[in-house]
Amino acid sequence: MTELEEQLALPTGETLRQSLLQQLDGVGLRLRTQLQAGVPRKDYADWQAAADAVSAAQEVLQNARIGAPQGSL
């Protein structure tokens, strides 16, 4: 289990998830805005990869198990 999974499994996991999703929303918006405004051709793949990584992270967080792990009290 990763450190993030451990933190999400805590009773405060939902608060953490919402905070991370909010941060990712902001980063994603800035990346998309910059991509739409234009980036140098040589940098486009890097910017697009960053935007794709943010989207993937959002999906992982949206599907993550939240709350106390099974078997805990």
pLDDT, tens digit (0-9, with 9 covering 90-100), for 3-17: 999 999 999 999 999
How many other CB atoms are there within 10 angstroms of residue 8's CB atom? 21
Rounded to whole angstroms, the Cα distance separating 65 from 61 reads 8
How many other CB atoms are there within 10 angstroms of residue 54's CB atom? 20
Instruction: Enumerate the domain spans of the chain.
Output: 14-62
pLDDT, tens digit (0-9, with 9 covering 90-100), for 22-62: 999 999 999 999 999 999 999 999 999 999 999 999 999 99
Kind and range of the H or E element at 7?
A: helix 3-9
71 three-class SS: coil
Rounded to whole angstroms, the Cα distance separating 10 from 29 reads 29
pTM for the structure as a whole: 0.84
